Structure 1
Amino acid sequence: MTNDVQETAAPAPGGVEGRAADLVQRLLAVGIDGRGPFDSAAEVARAARQRHPDTEAAVSAVVRQHTRLVAGNGFVTGLGGLLTMPVALPANVFGFHVLAVRAVAAIAELRGYDTSRPEVRSTVLLTLVGADATDVLKSVGLPTGNRLTRLATSRVPRPALMLLNKGVGFRLLTRFGTTTLVRVPTRALPVVGGAVGGAVDAVMFRRIAAAAQDALPPTARG
């Protein structure tokens, strides 16, 4: 998984707009659809359902599984210290978001949402930006009341969804830079950096997972 994510995370040429669009496309392609050895969100949901027939038990299993994966990804990429930091930090931050996208999309599948629908895919992306989701929705003229639940169950024009996804991409690109600066002091130290990085990533992921569970209530299909 790590090699696949590192290759997928290679920066795309072009300006900020192009990089934002490319980032979103990669997150959706790897995180939801799956690439190479990286299972799709639907496959993760099916595997969880086989082990746990109860929907909410399956959701909890997905969250636990991805909390471990996120923490492990953060730990491993933090082990190298200063020598590997230029490569490890971008790979870790991208890998974190891929895992978060897959977990949220798997939760959506388990609760009856169709992650092939563009509106659901955009909803999954919005869970990554937390409180900024309201600003992103406002920027493209979409309603903000019950913002994520409404988006996932609505029909939205494709141009609006493209703008929304790009808005998420802009915010994530900004966060990539901010996260890198925050993590440099601890990740400069091998082992210590790995432990701290893994713990921080696990906490961040749990917040995203909790928001996703609140925003994507069970449907009649779930």
Structure 2
Amino acid sequence: MAFLGRGRDDEEARPQSALELAAHPEADPGRLASTVTGLVENLLDTGIDGKGRFDSAQKVADVKRAEQATAEGAVDAVVRQHLKLGAAGGFVTGLGGFITMPVALPVNVLEFYLVATRMVAAVASLRGYDIKQPQIRSAVLLTLVGADADDLLRKAGVLSTGRLSNLAAQRLPGPALMVVNKAVGFRLLTMAGKKSLTKLGKGVPMVGGVLGAGLDTYLLNRIAAQARHEFPPRNTSH
């Protein structure tokens, strides 16, 4: 599932190129900026709104809400579903060892963030937030970078909001949100490069698959915990 590059730029923005750019951003700043824009657009368009067989965050939230007795039960179910997806992706990446990793790794790293985006957005929806609202969509992306979110907001000239869900109250204009989103995109590419290096050290067939599944599950669990914190139920005080 390629979610870097659109239309005629597809060939220039393959996932492999994205990881190379993350490792050497100084090599082509213009192309890096284009890649970041494509990454952010696709995380928002596919990760939140869904595309093809990849259901939207709202649909996932609605299905789990219908299956569970409470909203919090649905949140737990959403997290479990996405942890399984993350584990499966990580296992497949490491399953073939170094032979298949050059192809599988870039796809896995980027699809990891696609799954994480949908998970966070679904949690936000179940907690009572409008994930169609631009500020909430930016808050979803910021949740992916964890403790770095406040730093990115400061660098983008946005005042710290406490919890990221409070971005909605600031009514930030579109240009400001674009700056925030691009800052997240740059940080995600950097994180993707580090994640790749970690997995390259686990290139033993089968063993690599188990370790890859464990790493992706661990990282998704951290993002899920961050999502629960950043998007508290709307009927409680922030």
TM-score between both structures, scaled by the size of structure 1: 0.92
CA distance, structure 1, for counterparts of residue 111 and residue 168 of structure 2? 24
Alignment RMSD (CA, Å):
1.6
Q: Which runs of 4+ in 1 moved over 3 A?
A: none
Residues 111, 216 of structure 1: 8 Å contact kept: yes
Residues 134, 147 of structure 1: 8 Å contact kept: no
CA distance, structure 2, for counterparts of residue 147 and residue 218 of structure 1? 12
Counterpart in the other structure of 1:72: 88
Residues 163, 229 of structure 2: 8 Å contact kept: no
TM-score between both structures, scaled by the size of structure 2: 0.86
CA distance, structure 2, for counterparts of residue 104 and residue 112 of structure 1? 13
Name the aligned partner's letter for residue 208 of structure 1. Answer: I
Aligned to 1:97, the other structure's residue is in SS state helix
CA distance, structure 2, for counterparts of residue 28 and residue 83 of structure 1? 32
Aligned to 1:219, the other structure's residue is in SS state coil
Which shows bigger deviation, 148-157 or 189-198?
Answer: 148-157
CA distance, structure 1, for counterparts of residue 41 and residue 161 of structure 2? 27
Kindly report which structure 2 residues correspond to 1:116-195, keeping only aligned pairs within 5 A, or say none: 116-186=132-202, 188-195=203-210
Cα offset, 1:76, TM superposition: 1.2
Which shows bigger deviation, 143-152 or 210-219?
Answer: 143-152
Counterpart in the other structure of 1:110: 126
User: Number of residue pairs matched?
Assistant: 215
Counterpart in the other structure of 1:201: 216
Is 2:211 aligned against 1:217? no
CA distance, structure 2, for counterparts of residue 147 and residue 141 of structure 1? 17
Cα offset, 1:15, TM superposition: 1.6
CA distance, structure 2, for counterparts of residue 124 and residue 71 of structure 1? 21
Counterpart in the other structure of 1:8: 3
Cα offset, 1:161, TM superposition: 0.3
Unaligned runs of 5+ in 1: none
Percent of counterpart pairs with the same letter?
Answer: 50
Name the aligned partner's letter for residue 26 of structure 1. Answer: N
